């Protein structure tokens, strides 16, 4: 693990200490949990953004995709 220093407001420090005591974990564990949460949210946001930018990027001549999507997916997966 990497040791680092952070600065918290008095209110944040009090809240985290109380929550750590309530959960029976260390303050450091709560901070690691929070960091992991932020990183996961960022990863999801990046994936969403990439997907959003792809939407509408492709064209197809088939006009019945909404009705026959299962057939088209089967063709795509099975070749």
Could you tell me what percentage of the chain is helix, strand and coil, using 3-state DSSP and rounding each to the nearest 5? Answer: 70, 0, 30
Rounded Cα–Cα distance for residues 30 and 19 (Å): 8
Q: pLDDT value at position 5? A: 95
Beta-sheet strands, E only, within the chain: none
pTM of the model: 0.59
Spans of all domains in the chain: 10-54
Q: What's the pLDDT at 9?
A: 97
Which among 38, 2, 34 is positioned nearest to 20, based on CA atoms? 34
Q: What is the pLDDT of residues 8-64, one digit of tens each?
A: 999 999 999 999 999 999 999 999 999 999 999 999 998 888 888 777 777 777 788
pLDDT for the residue 57: 74
Which pLDDT does position 49 carry in this prediction? 86
CB contact set of 46 (below 8 Å; sequence gap of 6+) = none
């Amino acid at each position: 693990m990497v040791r680092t220093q952070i600065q918290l407001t008095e209110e944040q420090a009090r809240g985290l200490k109380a929550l750590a005591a309530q959960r029976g974990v260390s303050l450091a564990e709560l901070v690691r949990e929070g960091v992991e949460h932020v990183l996961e949210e960022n990863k999801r946001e990046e994936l969403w953004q990439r997907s959003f930018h792809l939407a509408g990027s492709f064209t197809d001549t088939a006009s019945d995709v909404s009705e026959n999507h299962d057939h088209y997916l089967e063709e795509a997966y099975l070749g």
